[in-house]
Structure 1
Amino acid sequence: MMKMHTNLFMSSWNSRMASTSFTGMLFIFLLSPYIILETNARMYGKHTVNIISELPENSSHLIAECKSKNDDIGKHELSPGQSFSWRFRTNIWSSTLFYCYFWWGAKYKAMDVFDGTWDSTSYYHMYSYVLNVDGVYLSNEEKNHTASLGLVSLW
Structure 2
Amino acid sequence: MIKIIVLSVVILSILVQTTNSALTAGFTVHIINALSNNDIPFSVQCESKDDDLGLKTPKVGDDYNFSFRGNVLGTTRFYCHYSWGSKNNFLMFSTAKCINLVNVEE
Q: Name the counterpart of 1:47.
A: 27
Aligned mates of 1:117, 1:46 — CA distance in 2: 12
Equivalent AA in structure 1 for residue 97 of structure 2 = W
Gaps in structure 1 of 5+ consecutive residues: 1-18, 128-141, 143-155
TM-score in terms of structure 1 length: 0.60
**Counterpart secondary structure, 2:57:** strand
Aligned ranges 1:31-42 → 2 under 5 Å: 31-42=12-23
**Larger helix fraction of residues:** 1
Compare CA radii of gyration and give the structure with the larger one: 1
Asked if 1 retains the 8 angstrom alpha-carbon contact of 2:23 and 2:96, the reply is no
Equivalent residue pairs, number: 105
Deviation at 1:55, TM superposition (A): 0.3
**Superposed counterparts of 1:6-155, under 5 Å:** 19=1, 21-43=2-24, 45-112=25-92, 114-119=93-98, 122-126=99-103
Give the aligned CA root-mean-square deviation in angstroms.
2.1
For residue 34 of structure 1, give the secondary structure of its aligned residue in structure 2.
Answer: helix
Q: TM-score, normalised by structure 2?
A: 0.84
Percent identity, please.
28
